Amino acid sequence: MSNSKGEINVQKSLHVAVLAFPFGTHAAPLVSIVRKIAEEAPNVTFSFFSTKKSNATLFSSSDEFHLPNIKHYDVPDGLPEGYVPSGHPLEPIFRFIKAMPENYKIVVGEAVIETEKKITCFVTDAFYWFGADLADEMNAKWVPVWTAGPHALLTHFYTDLIREKFGNNKVDDVEKAKFLPGFPELEASDLPEGVIEDIDGPFGTMLHKMGQALPRATAVSINSFSTLHSIIENELNSKFKLLLNVGPFILTTPQRTISDEHDCLAWLNKHESFSVVYISFGSSIIPPPHELVALAESLEECGFPFLWAFRGNPEEQFPKGFIERTRARGKIVAWAPQMEILKHSSVGVCLTHSGWNSVLDCIVGGVPMISRPFFGDQKMNARMIESVWEIGVRVENGVLSKESILKGLELTMSSERGRFMRKNIVKLKESALEAVGENGTSAKNLNTLIQIVTR
């Protein structure tokens, strides 16, 4: 940063509005990249907008990354006074989407009055297509942040064309997706919801508008690295004004100090290289009961040691006696320091829902995957893992059955192909490390991003 007087004055007048999508694992990566930027530009004002609930989980009072130039504002969540949950888990999300963008506009207006600084840049979750209009209205820049992978983003850009090709016929036909660069074996059923299924729903509508709006962005920033899939990167790059791969965020942004309250790492130390099966379906998914039973039975039968980060209640949800019978080689914990675990040499494979953050964790850890995708971009990630990068397999028929799990474990843990997958993922890991290292593409792009947002 140059320190001339004029420039400091300019920096003091800059006001960056950050608009987070307050559900799932969206807001946390946005917070980490914004912290990185805000840290580099202490004289620029950052206003962070999210719901009260999300704010409370993102910024705890004992925040080790507290930055004086980031201020949080609570955005109305769109729920009526005295709202009683209907039991439909997506309802709060749908109501929130319905309340956008008005709920943001009001609070952004308040922040402008309070700070006496007009917004000079909007950094938003890429979902927020209306960032393009807000930025136009306020003569500001717009930098959407896409927290998933480049391949999923491409399908949202090409949604109209994909709908045209597939028509009403949603049967799997890889020929139909051939026009999309970089997807050799894509099937209709791999596409995220909202592309050809459920197109008029809140997500379908939002993602469709997003795909149309992104070319208007000053720069599209993404949690990936440019060598991950060069064909798709080039395609996106040709569609947007500027595509900035600035990931993996886990390597380019400050990470919280991890706690290992259940002593997972000490437990891993007791095991041989590549011998442990690590299982996690992310922070919100619990597989249906029959799949949990199939998984427990497979773990009992396969004989591999396993470490399972399990969100539910093990006593209630596992087969009777399973925990006792596997105690000698199994460890089940409510929370696990995933990245540290995946970096540990004992871990041989990760059974995952293949959410993007977990896929990147596995790449950085160099651990092949068995995927059991559930929704969103997970199915497409699983397809890329198996068919494009060859760094893992999907469970057969997409569900956890005893047969499909045992087959996946045999393949990844004990076969020649499994060793090939490990080699491939270690190569990807090395290119990720190179990208974030000195003069690497992600490191350079991050500098460009900081310049765009804070100048």
Ligand X SMILES: *[C@@H]1O[C@H](CO)[C@@H](O)[C@H](O)[C@H]1NC(C)=O
Q: Which residues bind ligand X (CB under 6 A)?
A: 1, 3, 8, 11, 42-43, 52, 55-56, 59, 61, 72-74, 438-439
Residue 37 Cα to chain centre, angstroms:
19
Cβ pair 433, 243 in contact under 8 A: no
Kind plus residue range of the DSSP H or E element containing 221: strand 220-222
Contacts 24+ apart (CB under 8 A), 328-334: 329/303, 329/304, 329/305, 330/299, 330/305, 330/306, 331/262, 331/264, 331/267, 331/306, 331/307, 332/308, 333/262, 333/264, 333/307, 333/308, 333/309, 334/262, 334/309, 334/310
End-to-end CA distance of the chain: 10
- Which segments within 66-183 are labelled E, that is strand? 70-74, 121-125, 141-146
Q: Both tokens of residue 131?
A: 């960032």
Q: 77 catalytic, yes or no?
A: no
Question: Quick count: other Cβ atoms within 10 Å of Cβ 294?
Answer: 22
Kind plus residue range of the DSSP H or E element containing 381: helix 378-383
Minimum Å distance from CB 440 to ligand X? 8
Cβ pair 165, 176 in contact under 8 A: yes
Of 14 and 123, the one with the shorter C-beta distance to ligand X is 14
Q: Exactly one of 26, 72, 156, 353 is catalytic; which is it? A: 26
Residues 224 and 387: their CA atoms lie apart, in Å, by: 19
Q: 125 catalytic, yes or no?
A: yes
Of 59 and 94, the one with the shorter C-beta distance to ligand X is 59
Residues 436 and 444: their CA atoms lie apart, in Å, by: 8
Minimum Å distance from CB 454 to ligand X? 9
Residues 391 and 387: their CA atoms lie apart, in Å, by: 9
Minimum Å distance from CB 260 to ligand X? 24
Q: Exactly one of 15, 72, 77, 125 is catalytic; which is it? A: 125
Of 55 and 371, the one with the shorter C-beta distance to ligand X is 55
Of 81 and 438, the one with the shorter C-beta distance to ligand X is 438
Of 378 and 442, the one with the shorter C-beta distance to ligand X is 442
Cβ pair 358, 350 in contact under 8 A: yes
Going across the sheet that includes 392-394, the strands are: 330-333, 306-309, 276-280, 347-352, 369-371, 392-394
Kind plus residue range of the DSSP H or E element containing 18: strand 15-19
Residues with a catalytic annotation lie at: 26, 125
